[in-house]
Amino acid sequence: MVPDLRLVRYFVTVGEEGNVTRAAERLHIAQPSLSAALKQLEQQLGVTLLERSGRGIALTPAGELLLVRGRELLDQARAVADEVRGRGGAAAARLRLGLSPTARYEVGPALLGACATAAPAAMLYTREDTTGALLQDVANGRLDLAVTFCAATAPAGVELLPLVDAPAIAHVPAGHRLAGRSTVTLDDLSEETILVAASRDSGGFSDRVLGAFAAAGIRPATRVDPYPDLGLQAVREGLGVVIYVRGAFPPEVAGSAFVPLDPPLTLPFHLAWRDGSRTAAVDAVIEVARGLAA
């Protein structure tokens, strides 16, 4: 018997979450209904997909295979649906787009605005997370695309398209000794405490900034940013200086000064998607992104 695609989607979600309760929340269905659906899928296929022990689950070899092939099947089904809609003149498609918080005020709005004009059928639903988390979500199919910041490496099967290399700035308090400068050098910052990301999910950013200091022969003091707001609160409290991009912050930030680096240091944004999950709508967004990057 050919399994119901709905049941395959349920199973893939359980496999990705590793937990039936979390999968039910993600799917917006009751847990008993999800458990019943999984048993129905096992009956349709004639194999055991999950080993249940206490409150945990483990995939059987058949389950591991279905997790991989099921993702491919769901990707292909979405691609077919997109193609058919396109032939019928109804090309609208819902896409899940992840955004690095650093893209909040410039790169993200630029991409969304360009897509609204050049790819209006791609309905983009956005959410923010760290770059590492976004890449993992693209890899496991929770996101269709993501705008990343200083991505160190991509998981297997994830493609990265350069979007923009944004010039870095030093974010200092408005009363700081460097706040009135037109530019600052890394040497000017050598005696400052440099704020770095708390999460390894943002490690590519910290590595790139500290690598620039190292290349200049400077080893600044560092401090992990204790707040999840791109350094805003930590800078206000005088805990250190953060090197970021201007587009990470609103046009006006009371109590802050943003000073460009000289010589310039650039920090990259990329568009990420999963290889093999290209639909007509995903392709349309990628083409828009290529135009922005040109």
pLDDT at 10: 87
Share of the chain above pLDDT 90, in %: 48
* Reported confidence tier of residue 272, pLDDT bands at 50, 70, 90: very high
Rounded to an integer, the average pLDDT of 7-30 is: 84
pLDDT in tens, 204-251: 888 999 999 999 999 999 999 988 888 889 999 999 999 999 999 988
Locate 143 and state its tokens. Answer: 């996101």
Decide: helix, strand or coil at residue 220: coil
Give the least confident one: 105-119, 184-198, 200-214.
200-214
Decide: helix, strand or coil at residue 267: strand
Does residue 263 have a cis peptide bond before it, meaning omega lies within 30 degrees of 0? yes
Is pLDDT above 70 for 87? no
pLDDT at 92: 65
Is pLDDT above 80 for 275? yes
Locate 124 and state its tokens. Answer: 């983009």
Rounded to an integer, the average pLDDT of 197-208 is: 80
- E strands of 88-231, at which residues? 93-99, 122-128, 145-149, 158-173, 193-196, 221-224
Q: Which residue segments constitute the domains of the chain, with CATH numbers given?
A: 5-85 (1.10.10.10), 91-164+269-293 (3.40.190.10), 165-266 (3.40.190.10)
Cα(176)–Cα(79) distance, integer angstroms: 54
DSSP element (H, E) containing 117: helix 107-118
pLDDT in tens, 124-149: 989 888 899 899 999 988 899 999 99
pTM of the model: 0.72
Is pLDDT above 90 for 264? yes
